[in-house]
C-alpha cells in the first residue's frame, strides 16, 4: 500500500488522483474531511481507507508500505497557534520519519518555499546545515517546516540511518484544481475567477516598495500537475534522495496571472489596485523564484508548464466547468 497524509487536501488529492490513474488503487489517505466539503476532492477516487491523524501511529503498527508521502500539515501562513503547528508539522513529521527509517520505507515529504523568508538568503535548495541555518522564515508555518528540514539535514550530516529514499520538496506557489476548500489560502486565480467571468472588477495589491509597480509583486507560480509529476518521478526513482525546490524557476507577477485568466476566457481585463493591509506590509514577500538546478541534476526532465498554458488548462478543464474537481 501507499500512504498519503493530507491526501484529501489540495496537493494530496491530486497525488491520489495520479496514483489511481497509474493503476494504484491500494492507497490509504490520512486526513480529516471536516464539514467544508473537502470530501469532494476524493469523490472520484478509489481508496483502501481514510485514517484520522490522531489514529495514524496506531494504524501504522505492524504495517509495511511501499512509500509514505507526507503532505499533511497546517499550511496556513497566517496560523498563530504555535503549539498546534509545532505538534502537527514538526513532531508528527519526526515520528513518521522515524517509522520510515525503522521499517525501510521511502519517505517523501512536503517542505515549503516559506522556509526562505524574505529571500534575502536566496532561494537555493542547498540542504547542508550551514546553508539551512542562514534561512529566516517569516511566519510560523515556514518556521515549522524549516525546523524539520534542519532535523533531517542534521541526521544526514551525522551519517545517521535514514529511510532508503527520503526527499523533501520545497513547493513554491502551487495552484490548480481541488484547492477550493482552502479559503483565504486559495490561489488568487481561484478566489477571483468568478469575478473575472462575471466582468466584475478584480482587486490586486498596490506596491508599497519603490521600483516595483502595482500588481508586479512576483511569485514562482507552479501548476499542481507539475508538482504531482515530480512526486511520481521520485516514487519511480528510488535512488534519488535530497531536498529539492519544486517551482518553475521563473517568477511572474500577480498581474500576469490575472491577465492570463482574462485571456483564457477571451475577456477584457478589469483590474484595480488597492492598498495592502497595514498588518501584512512588513512581512509581505515581493519576490520568490526557485532555483531548480538540483532537481535537474538529480535527473528530473519532466519540464514545467508555462503560466499562460497552466492558467488556460485550469480555467478550461476546471474553473469554467460545473464540476471543478479533479
For 60-88, the pLDDT digits (tens) are: 999 999 999 999 998 888 888 999 999 99
What is the share, in percent, of the chain residues with pLDDT greater than 70?
100
The tens digit of pLDDT for each residue in 162-173 reads 999 999 999 999
Please give the pLDDT value at position 55.
97
Residue 312: CB atoms within 10 A of its CB come to: 17
Please list the active-site residues: 141, 182
Q: Is 250 annotated as a binding residue?
A: no
Q: Would you state the pLDDT for residue 297?
A: 96
Predicted confidence (pLDDT) at residue 36 exceeds the cutoff of 90: no
Q: Is the pLDDT of residue 35 over 90?
A: no
Q: What is the number of structural domains in the chain?
A: 1
Q: Which residue carries 515529504 as its cell?
A: 109
Tell me if 147 is assigned to a ligand binding site.
Answer: no
Q: Which helix (H) or strand (E) holds 245?
A: strand 242-246
Domain annotation covers residue 55: yes
Q: How far apart are the first and last CA of the chain?
A: 22
State yes or no: 69 annotated in a binding site: no
- How far apart CA 295 and CA 230 sit, in angstroms, is 9
- Is 40 domain-assigned? yes
Range of the domain at 84: 2-177+221-250+289-305
Residue 140 lies inside a defined structural domain of this protein? yes
CATH of the domain at 46: 3.40.50.720
Residue 175 clears pLDDT 80, i.e. is over it: yes
Report the pLDDT averaged over residues 42-69.
Answer: 97
Quick one: pLDDT at residue 79? Answer: 87
Q: Is it the case that residue 221 has pLDDT exceeding 90?
A: yes
267 is in an annotated binding site: no
Pairing state of beta strands 252-253 and 271-274?
unpaired
**In angstroms, rounded to a whole number, what is the distance separating the alpha carbons of residues 9 and 88?**
15
> For residue 321, is it within any domain?
no
Stretch 214-235: mean pLDDT: 97
Residue 257, annotated ligand binder? no
Amino acid at each position: 500500500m501507499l500512504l498519503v497524509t493530507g491526501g484529501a487536501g489540495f496537493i494530496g488529492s491530486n497525488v491520489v488522483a495520479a496514483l489511481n490513474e497509474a493503476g494504484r488503487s491500494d492507497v490509504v489517505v490520512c486526513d480529516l474531511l471536516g464539514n467544508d466539503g473537502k470530501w469532494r476532492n476524493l469523490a472520484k477516487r478509489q481508496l483502501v481507507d481514510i485514517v484520522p491523524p490522531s489514529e495514524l501511529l496506531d494504524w501504522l503498527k505492524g504495517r509495511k508500505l511501499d512509500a509514505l508521502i507526507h503532505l499533511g500539515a497546517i499550511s496556513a501562513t497566517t496560523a498563530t497557534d504555535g503549539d498546534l503547528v509545532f505538534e502537527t508539522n514538526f513532531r508528527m513529521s519526526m515520528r513518521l520519519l522515524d517509522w520510515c527509517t525503522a521499517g525501510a520505507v521511502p519517505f517523501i515529504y512536503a517542505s515549503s518555499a516559506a522556509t526562505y523568508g524574505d529571500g534575502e538568503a536566496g532561494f537555493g535548495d542547498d540542504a547542508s546545515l550551514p546553508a539551512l541555518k542562514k534561512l529566516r522564515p517569516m511566519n510560523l508555518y515556514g518556521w515549522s517546516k524549516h525546523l524539520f528540514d534542519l532535523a533531517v539535514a542534521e541526521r544526514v550530516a551525522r551519517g545517521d540511518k535514514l529511510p532508503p529514499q527520503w526527499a523533501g520538496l520545497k513547493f513554491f506557489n502551487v495552484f490548480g484544481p481541488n484547492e477550493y476548500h482552502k479559503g483565504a489560502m486559495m490561489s488568487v486565480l481561484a478566489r477571483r475567477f468568478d469575478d473575472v467571468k462575471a466582468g466584475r472588477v478584480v482587486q490586486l495589491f498596490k506596491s508599497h516598495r519603490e521600483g516595483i509597480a502595482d500588481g508586479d509583486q512576483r511569485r514562482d507560480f507552479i501548476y499542481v500537475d507539475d508538482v504531482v509529476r515530480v512526486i511520481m518521478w521520485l516514487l519511480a526513482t528510488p535512488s534519488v534522495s535530497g531536498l529539492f525546490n519544486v517551482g518553475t524557476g521563473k517568477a511572474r507577477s500577480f498581474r500576469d496571472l490575472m491577465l492570463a485568466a482574462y485571456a483564457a476566457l477571451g475577456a477584457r481585463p478589469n483590474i484595480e489596485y488597492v492598498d495592502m493591509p497595514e498588518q501584512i506590509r512588513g512581512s509581505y514577500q515581493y519576490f520568490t523564484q526557485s532555483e531548480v538546478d538540483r532537481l535537474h541534476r538529480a535527473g528530473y526532465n519532466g519540464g514545467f508548464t508555462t503560466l499562460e498554458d497552466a492558467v488556460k488548462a485550469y480555467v478550461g478543464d476546471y474553473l469554467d466547468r460545473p464540476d471543478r474537481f479533479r
